[in-house]
Amino acid sequence: MHAHDSDTIEALADPRLRSGRPDPGEEGGPGGADGEYGEYGDRERGAHGAEAVSRPAAGLLRFSADRDPAVLARFVRLRVIDPENAYWRRGLEAATRWLRETGSGELRVPFTYVVPADRPGGVGGVGGYPLGVWLADQRRHYNAGTLGADRVKELDALGMVWSAHDNAFEEGLAVARAWAASHGGMFLPPATAVGEGGFPVGVWAKNQRAAARRTLQNAERRAAGESVPSTGELPESRMEALEAIDPGWCPLGWDVAWQRAFRLALAHVRAGGTLPTDAGEHVVQGEDLGAWTTAQRLNWDNLLPAQQWLLESALRLGPGGAERPVRRTQDGKWALNLLAARQFHSREGHLTVPRKHVETITLDAGDGGEEMSVKLGSFVDNARRRAARLNARRRADLDSLGMRW
């Protein structure tokens, strides 16, 4: 019986036995050795209209040699149980080949990916197939509800990623969790930060914050009666996922650098430490908390009421008084220059300062409430020239602002 079954299956690959007509390839017919054959799933017709099977498919069905059970099962499913068009079948073959060659468990294929040329001896050649585009087409059909359930099931079995956008967010969220876990539960990376696997977590976080702020702003405008499109907003589910990592991940009204320094200072105080008052006294994750504390006292009147409340209630920090030295040390001067640099960076988004630029900062009442002009361009230029002589803390201060050395 086994031999009989094998003979029967092999006969499926022979159009002469299935159709009762002579082989059109004999005597130099159009389907002979010099004719053209399709992929292993492509059916072609001979001179008498008999449906033929491609040469790779015919070879696949001959059981005299070992065959890959998975390939054979896929062939029978596509050709006998659920026939599909050639383009679709080639897409599945290309996806299977990509998974096999990359060792991946999911179809995270770049949009521009094209299957390389076929290796000699391959079955069902898919070299040159635009797999990335094909998968994007399937996602589009799926989202439009026009992709059949059988095809959805087939792609699911291969590990299809139906939403590339959602997938990218999940990847970022995983890196965000890892970042927060290694930074005391705080997710406030600088824009230049790189996470696990080289993922640009700083840029990703910046984009999510921009989307979150846009969402809140649009909500206020809608409450005022405006009609505002939701383009570029952050869905509530994603907002909640990020807040679960760090409730303070998206400060409103001030920049991330201030929020990061405040959170580090708060963690230090809650751990039993005293709030540093001198530059260089305590540095955490590249943040000089002493210099930051001094800067808050000097710049108290320029802080938002919410920032002042946070400093007073959480850190017991207020505007500078008589205890502040009249004559500033080198560290004090560095703190002022750094304050001017941060003000410039917060406003411009970079630290590419013209050589002759002068930044004006306002001192608090302890310094007479006067404005001070800081030659920020000269400071940045001198720091760049003296880069080799700067200590690690000061280099980190400027690196956090995107200093180009």
Domain ranges of the chain: 2-61, 84-162, 166-245, 256-399
How far apart, in whole angstroms, are the C-alpha atoms of residue 405 and residue 403?
6
Question: Hey, what long-range contacts does 269-276 have (CB within 8 A, 24 or more apart)?
Answer: 269/314, 269/315, 275/315, 275/316, 275/317
Task: Provide the residue count of the chain.
Answer: 405
Whole-structure pTM value: 0.45
Say if residue 366's pLDDT is above 60: no
* Tokens (6 digits) for 172: 């970022």
How far apart, in whole angstroms, are the C-alpha atoms of residue 220 and residue 217?
5
Who has greater pLDDT, 131 or 60?
A: 131
Residue 249: CB atoms within 10 A of its CB come to 22
Residue 294: CB atoms within 10 A of its CB come to 25
Burial 253-289 (b: 16+ CB within 10 A, else e): eeebbbbbbbbbbbebbeeeeebbbbbbbbbbbebbb
How far apart, in whole angstroms, are the C-alpha atoms of residue 329 and residue 290?
13
Select, from the ranges 33-37, 57-61, 129-133, the one with the highest average predicted confidence (pLDDT): 129-133
How far apart, in whole angstroms, are the C-alpha atoms of residue 214 and residue 269?
33
Average confidence (pLDDT) over 288-292: 90
What's the pLDDT at 55? 57
